[in-house]
Amino acid sequence: MRNFKYFLVKNKMIIIITSIVLICAIAIAIGVYAQLTNRGDIKSKEQDENYDYEDLERSFDDIFTNTINKEVDAKQDINYDEIIYCVYNIEEEEANYNIKAKIPLFKIENNVTKEINKEIYDTFANTIIKIVQNSTAYTTFNLDYVVYVNNNILSLVIRCKYKDASNPQRNIIQTYNYDMDNNRLVDINEIIDYKNLNKEDIQKEVFEKIKEENAQIKNISDQGYNVYIRDENDDIYKIENTPNYFLGKDNHLYLVYAYGNNNFTSEMDLVIF
């Protein structure tokens, strides 16, 4: 014990200097890290500001290229064609119908993908069968899809333009966000967390978007046109109830409100982050 106290007294100045140097080094490291992080945040915000979100909305129809798009952070050593592919490529025209459909399904099999495939088949393939067997008035059915891969999330987006006889055209959208690492679907809250977004800010923007769209639509309606009026109190506008969403090009989050999923309308609202 005496030797230890002697060591402390003898080397007190060295210990103090060493401690100061260590503290300064740690402070400098923290400052550099914070500066780099802040630069990253600023760069990310600048990138977001450089995006024309209205242009992304206008070009929404153009994304359906029936291809798999690997984004920058996608795993490069995976053959994604072994995960999902176009199983039906249908082009058929008769007196009563015109069908052009590329229907994708998951090639890998587990309980989740089997359920997805069943839903896709029941919704789209069965509709085609009914058109071919029962159509008495001219019907058009066009179906395309696109796949985006961001990190471990594979987003499948299916678009169907369906016009049955004299009814207005329906634009139908179905999306699936599949966690390839854990073989499960990813819910919207997980994607919001993944993108470090604020849920309350997203919710506010959705409500504002729907109100703006409705205001414009009501003006058209007042002029005597038959238009689709949004129900601003509908629970689908609550983030947790958003029916369709996906991660697209450059990791953008698309919230899709396609009213043609349940009604005879081609009206659709997109909110993109």
Q: Work out the average pLDDT over 136-162.
A: 97
Residue predicted with more confidence, 86 or 9 = 86
Angle at which helices 12-50 and 2-10 pack, to 10 degrees? 60
User: What pLDDT is attached to residue 24?
Assistant: 45
64-100 pLDDT tens trace = 999 999 999 998 889 999 999 999 999 999 999 999 9
- Residues 151, 256, single domain; the answer is yes
Which pLDDT score is estimated for 219? 81
Asked whether residue 47 is assigned to any structural domain, the reply reads no
Q: Is the pLDDT of residue 150 over 90?
A: yes
> How much is the average pLDDT of 192-213?
97
pLDDT, position 4: 38
Domain count, the chain: 2
Establish if 192 belongs to a structural domain: yes
Q: Residue 168: its pLDDT value, please?
A: 94
**pLDDT-derived band of residue 49, with 50, 70 and 90 as boundaries?**
low
Domain co-membership, 72 together with 14: no
For residues 53 and 200, the model is more confident at: 200
DSSP 3-state assignment of 138? coil
Which is more confident, 267 or 4? 267
More confident residue, 11 or 109: 109
3-state secondary structure of 219: helix
> Do 63 and 155 sit in the same domain of this protein?
yes
| CATH code for position 137 | 3.30.565.40
Mean pLDDT of 116-136: 96
Query: Which tokens in the block code for residue 91?
Result: 């082009």
pLDDT band at 124 (very low <50, low <70, confident <90, very high): very high
In a domain, residue 68? The reply is yes
User: pTM to 2 decimals?
Assistant: 0.80
Answer yes or no: do 15 and 123 share one domain.
no
Report the mean per-residue pLDDT for the chain: 86
Is the residue at 165 inside a domain? yes
More confident residue, 39 or 186: 186
Q: Is the pLDDT of residue 218 over 90?
A: no
- Residue 98 falls within a domain, yes or no? yes
Same domain for 8 and 87? no
163 and 125 both lie in a single domain: yes
Neighbours of 7 (CB within 10 A): 11
Residue 48 lies in a domain: no
Query: Which residue range(s) make up the domain with 36?
Result: 2-42
Q: Average pLDDT of 142-152?
A: 97
Check residue 96 and give left, alpha or beta (phi > 0: left; psi -120 to 50: alpha).
alpha
pLDDT at position 220 is 84
For 245-259, the pLDDT digits (tens) are 999 999 999 999 999
138 domain residue, yes or no = yes
| Same-domain check for residues 88 and 140 | yes
Are 114 and 237 in the same domain?
yes
User: Could you tell me which residue, 233 or 34, shows the higher pLDDT?
Assistant: 233
38 and 168 together in one domain: no
36 or 149: which carries more pLDDT confidence?
Answer: 149
Do 242 and 189 sit in the same domain of this protein?
Answer: yes
Say which amino acid occupies 131: I
Better-scored residue on pLDDT, 142 or 77: 142
196-200's contacts with Cβ under 8 Å and 24+ in sequence apart are: 197/253, 197/273, 199/239
pLDDT 10s digits, 16-31:
444 454 444 444 444 4
Q: Which two tokens stand for residue 83?
A: 């995960």
Residues 225 and 93 in one domain: yes
Identify whether residues 34 and 82 lie together within a single domain.
no
Whether 257 contacts 213, CB under 8 Å:
no
pLDDT at 121: 97
